[in-house]
Chains A and B, each alone.
Chain A
Amino acid sequence: MLRRIALSLLATLAAGCLPADTRPPPAAVEMTASAGPGTRGITDTVDGYQIGFEFVRASIGQPYVGDQSGDDGGPCSEYYSPQYSRLFDFVAVEQPEKVGLGYALGPCSFSYFLRFPNYDAIIGTGATAEDGDYMRTPPDGDESMDMDMDMDTGISLWVSGLATKGDIVKSFKWEFRAYMGLRECWIPDGDTKQTTFTLASDEKLTLNVEMQAEALFRDQLDAASGLLRFQPFADADTNGDGAVSMEELDAVKLSDLYPGYVYPVIDPKVAIEDRNYYCADTDGNEIAVISLADYLYCAAAPSVARFNGDGGCKIRVGRRRRRD
């Protein structure tokens, strides 16, 4: 008897009592990112411009495979979701690149972020450590920056390029300082959207996000029905220096644009959770999409990242700097 007790004690000391994780093996979900032809090459717009990008630097990551609600205990069992981002210059990305690897089981939804590269971000193809350092630096001379509001004033998406039309040459170099959450991503399934991916044990699934930088100039969120236009941007260059700045775009009211330029209308009757996109300022208050800059920040920029090439996600833009 004593020997049995002694052996039990020794066994306890040797192995402990903590139980192991007894869940079944999960599915592996790898997220990749690639560059679309419009990002790496020249794109024609319906108003006669040709657009090319010098760089399209984006920090993409934190893929989440789990319940739509984000709660534990739902039908999807999230095992692990990476909490880091990778910084790419998608002009240089030739093949799909790894973004992150998650593990889950059951019917799950998928989401990810475009968010400034923090210190832990991995520098990917085309990007440099200097790019990352710049993108996480708050804007210069911003005296109004309140320490409790600047959490996401780093740059999520940084693009530079040229648009030409005959002798007209317009340049643009824009920093998008806001986090962009792409949630409940879907792929077309006939006339419906598949928002749930059923994951089985030991299954391997790859989900790709294609960066379509030309979507910045699309006049609708819907890629199928929207058209690429640059003229409203060219017209915004009121100082005639050839560079279209974000300040100039902020002076352009969407309501003043010519008919046919369709921008997303927010129906306040629709619950925020059900809206296709939602844009908030640094206080968390909803931003009304009034100017062309608003549209770029709140709708066009996040839709640059195109889930599965022809799919989409609910867009949640937060912490956009408040208009002075």
Chain B
Amino acid sequence: MRRSSIRLAQAILLGVLALVWAGPAAAQALVPPRLVESSEPAYPESAEGDATVTLTVVVNRDGTVREVSATRGDEPFASAAIEAVRKYRFEPATRDGQPVAATIRFEVTFTEPQPPPIKEPPPVPGAAPANSPKATPAEQEPLEVVVQGERPAADVRTLTRAEVRQLPGAFGDPFRAIESMPGVTPIVSGLPFFYIRGAPPGNVGYFLDGVRVPYLYHVGLGPSVVNPAIVDHVDLYSGGYPARYGRFMGGIVAGETTAPRSDWHGEGNLRIFDAGAMVEGGFANGRGTVMLGGRYSYTATVLSLIAQDVKLDYRDYQARFTYDITPKDRVTAFAFGSYDLLGQEQAGGLRVLFGTEFYRLDLRYDHFYGADNRIRIAVTGGYDNTHLDFQTNTRDEMLGLRTELTHHLGPRALLRGGADVVLDHYSIAAPTYVDPDDPNIKAFNTFFPPRNDVAAGGWADVVLDVSSAFEATPGVRVDLYRSGATTKPAIDARLAGKIKLLKNLKLIEAFGLAHQPPSFVLPVPGLQPATLYNGLQTSLQTSAGLELKLKSLTATATGFHNAFFNMSDTLGASPGGGVNNLDQRSMGQAYGLEIYVHRDLTERLGGYLSYTLSRSTRSLGNETFLSAFDRTHVASMALSYDLGRNWRAGARFAAYSGIPVQPDGPPGLNQVARTTDVARGPGFYRLDLRLEKRWNIKRTGWISFVAEMLNATFHKETISDTEIGPVTIPSIGVEGGF
């Protein structure tokens, strides 16, 4: 152990020295990989029509292909393209004349073979037969080149949209799909709020392009508030996350939108309850792009056939405008928002039972310089508004300013840093028809008073390629929080590392200290507790695991331990004391083992197995007891198979242990001693199904019929002796794109 520590220290020292030496060197232009050896991908036998597949390819320093996956494109074309590209050889990317590993994206186009002409001309020696399949490999420049210095953080799992589309029960939504990941414990089946390594939903931060998303799922249960078509991928950081992410102590779910594209394209879907669409294209000869997307529910119309007095509406929108002022300077305006309303017609008017909306406008300026370096300056404006029945409207008008830097200090060191400040002005519209003496009303007003909050901070980390077998990422962030008259500082240290043990085997570790202001049970726009005077929540996150890559199969085994201090987890700790004790703080810990075996779901046969063995406890006073939603075993597995002729079927099986039986004692009565030795409620399992039939239209168009069902087995779940459900969500719809 001691020897390992010394080695680690030596490695870090070497890395820092390399950084210092490389520091002043001017960054040279990055030369992307060049294809030197390829073969024409075979046109799939069962396919019809033309198709284009976008691939993400990781090219090693020796020019071989390390990884390849399809980020856009349908089966069986995607598999055919992947199969072919695996055998390609590249001249590696270089920086400063030195070869570097790089990720590139490019397209492979398939053209359906034409029937032979009646009078076939004599073949030209050496030429392909006229009816041979025509496929275009990467003759064009790569669409995108990312140097591997920006490869994923140590403890992150990434879900791409292309893959999530094939995941049964996720409805094509990457944000919903995170429940399949190890370390993620559901509260109730079908409800997209999760504990992540023992941390409750209120401690998990959601981001889209670095902008915090205050509310992720329509009416709590529905689709995410971001149209999946604009999401390129979602990263789940379960712990020890990069220094860029802070102010949340439980986990980070970070979505990135697709890169701007100047060719006109779009997609849409039409389902029972809602319809969504996205369209994007370029102008000014490709210097500018504009993207518009959104979703609109017609639940009000559908529900009116069943319950005429109930009103349920949700909708969201996304709009992005980019313009390249110069080849190295880009301005972006990105706006997105969401609206939910649950109401009831009553006494000739509308009673708003629950309503929430938020809007964000992010204005960015990006300057690219040198070899893949970037500076971003962004201003974000936002408006949140939530209405709770009996209560009132709580509003948050926010203004944020942030800057981010990505700078290669040398071939082996990547510096990332940034600073930001966020101002939140919370206001409240006093309720008219309530009893002012009601302790619930008083507590609400005390918990969410009008005020101004400020959070400001800076962060930096360095991705160090200490050697070809060791990558280390030390980082730190400093934050200052102010709420009302209270100010609290926080310093968070982060350290992540990857050590290549064998050719295909890595040791991955992550460590992080994270702080967060007090949080509400669930993320709801505008509902941010004002109890900073009770201190920041703190977590100490550690994890270590092995990652084994065998061709298209990836397997990881990760052990983790999270220690929580001063956490405001009323959901997990269920403190007694009534509404006047909403902010009772507890301590806690979570530890366990995560197993994840994964083969990309876009493969002809893809799937995963995810299993988490864990225990999560809370401590209040002298008592230590199980967290209210502690589940010992959480397992999930899925298979997706290309049946041929553009049919694809998938199934996901999910199962988990029951929660502890009422460890929180009787509500309202004096607390009964709680322990970790309690019985559990019954476990739960469900089966999700998905079936898709796709038709390709011309070169890039497609249309699909998709039938999907979450909990097709109609199983009910028991929570605290209450039987829930069955929560079964069917979805039948048509999707299409061009």
Report which A residues bind B (CB closer than 8 A).
12-14, 16-26, 28, 72-73, 77, 79-80, 82-84, 98, 100-103, 105-106, 116, 118-120, 122, 133, 136-138, 147-148, 150-151, 153-154
Q: Decide yes or no whether B665 CB sits under 8 A from chain A.
A: yes
Q: Chain A: which residue is nearest B355 at the CB level?
A: A18
Contact flags (1/0) for B327-371 with A, using CB distance below 8 Å? 000000000000101011011111110011101010000000000
Once A106-B347, A119-B580 are accepted as A-B contacts, the answer to whether A20 and B435 lie under 8 Å apart by CB is: no
Partner of A122, one of B395, B437, B576, B721: B437
Residue from B309, B349, B668, B721 whose CB has the most chain A CB atoms within 10 Å: B668
Q: How far is the CB of A106 from chain B (nearest CB, A)?
A: 7
User: What residues of B have a CB within 8 angstroms of the CB of A28 in the complex?
Assistant: 433
Where chain A touches its partner, the secondary structure class is: loop
Q: Which 9 A-B pairs have the closest CB atoms?
A: A119-B578, A118-B668, A23-B349, A22-B349, A77-B347, A101-B435, A120-B578, A120-B439, A103-B433
User: What residues of B have a CB within 8 angstroms of the CB of A122 in the complex?
Assistant: 437, 439
A24 near B440 with CB under 8 A, answer no
A118 near B357 with CB under 8 A, answer no
A sample of 13 inter-chain contacts (CB < 8 A) reads A13-B359, A13-B381, A13-B383, A16-B385, A18-B356, A23-B350, A26-B347, A73-B346, A84-B440, A101-B436, A116-B668, A136-B670, A147-B665
Q: Decide yes or no whether B447 CB sits under 8 A from chain A.
A: no
User: What residues of B have a CB within 8 angstroms of the CB of A23 in the complex?
Assistant: 346-351
Q: Chain A: which residue is nearest B343 at the CB level?
A: A19
Report which B residues bind A (CB closer than 8 A).
309, 339, 341, 343-344, 346-352, 355-357, 359, 361, 381, 383, 385, 387, 390, 393, 395, 433-440, 576-581, 661-662, 665-670, 672, 721
User: What residues of A have a CB within 8 angstroms of the CB of B433 in the complex?
Assistant: 25-26, 28, 79-80, 103
Partner of B357, one of A16, A72, A98, A147: A16
User: What residues of B have a CB within 8 angstroms of the CB of A103 in the complex?
Assistant: 433-434
Once A16-B357, A22-B350, A72-B346 are accepted as A-B contacts, the answer to whether A133 and B670 lie under 8 Å apart by CB is: yes
A16 near B383 with CB under 8 A, answer yes
Partner of B352, one of A16, A18, A150: A18
A18 near B393 with CB under 8 A, answer yes
Partner of A80, one of B339, B343, B344, B435: B435
Q: Chain B: which residue is nearest A134 at the CB level?
A: B670
A120 near B440 with CB under 8 A, answer yes
Q: Chain B: which residue is nearest A79 at the CB level?
A: B433
Q: How far is the CB of B573 from chain A (nearest CB, A)?
A: 15
A18 near B383 with CB under 8 A, answer no
User: What residues of B have a CB within 8 angstroms of the CB of A20 in the complex?
Assistant: 352
Q: Chain A: which residue is nearest B361 at the CB level?
A: A13
B339 near A77 with CB under 8 A, answer no
CA distance A82 to B672 in the complex (A): 27
CA distance A153 to B667 in the complex (A): 11
User: What residues of B have a CB within 8 angstroms of the CB of A73 in the complex?
Assistant: 309, 344, 346
User: What residues of A have a CB within 8 angstroms of the CB of B339 in the complex?
Assistant: 17-18
B438 near A119 with CB under 8 A, answer no
A148 near B662 with CB under 8 A, answer yes
B341 near A18 with CB under 8 A, answer yes
User: What residues of A have a CB within 8 angstroms of the CB of B668 in the complex?
Assistant: 116, 118-120, 136, 154
Q: How far is the CB of A59 from chain B (nearest CB, A)?
A: 11
Q: How far is the CB of A321 from chain B (nearest CB, A)?
A: 14
User: What residues of B have a CB within 8 angstroms of the CB of A84 in the complex?
Assistant: 437-440
Partner of A154, one of B347, B434, B436, B669: B669
Known contacts A72-B344, A84-B439; 10 additional CB pairs below 8 A are A16-B359, A19-B355, A23-B347, A73-B309, A82-B435, A83-B440, A84-B438, A119-B668, A136-B670, A138-B666
CA distance A103 to B438 in the complex (A): 13
Q: How far is the CB of A284 from chain B (nearest CB, A)?
A: 12
Once A23-B349, A105-B347 are accepted as A-B contacts, the answer to whether A153 and B669 lie under 8 Å apart by CB is: yes
B387 near A18 with CB under 8 A, answer yes
Residue from B356, B433, B436 whose CB has the most chain A CB atoms within 10 Å: B433
Q: How far is the CB of B300 from chain A (nearest CB, A)?
A: 12
B383 near A77 with CB under 8 A, answer no
A150 near B666 with CB under 8 A, answer yes
Q: Chain B: which residue is nearest A28 at the CB level?
A: B433
CA distance A147 to B578 in the complex (A): 18
Q: Chain B: which residue is nearest A115 at the CB level?
A: B668
Q: How far is the CB of A22 from chain B (nearest CB, A)?
A: 4
B341 near A119 with CB under 8 A, answer no
CA distance A20 to B440 in the complex (A): 22
User: What residues of B have a CB within 8 angstroms of the CB of A12 in the complex?
Assistant: 359
A138 near B670 with CB under 8 A, answer yes
A82 near B438 with CB under 8 A, answer yes
Once A18-B341, A122-B437 are accepted as A-B contacts, the answer to whether A138 and B385 lie under 8 Å apart by CB is: no
A14 near B383 with CB under 8 A, answer yes
Once A22-B350, A83-B438, A122-B437 are accepted as A-B contacts, the answer to whether A151 and B670 lie under 8 Å apart by CB is: no
User: What residues of A have a CB within 8 angstroms of the CB of B361 in the complex?
Assistant: 13
Q: Chain B: which residue is nearest A74 at the CB level?
A: B346
Residue from B347, B577, B665 whose CB has the most chain A CB atoms within 10 Å: B347
User: What residues of B have a CB within 8 angstroms of the CB of A154 in the complex?
Assistant: 668-669
CA distance A25 to B581 in the complex (A): 33
CA distance A133 to B438 in the complex (A): 19
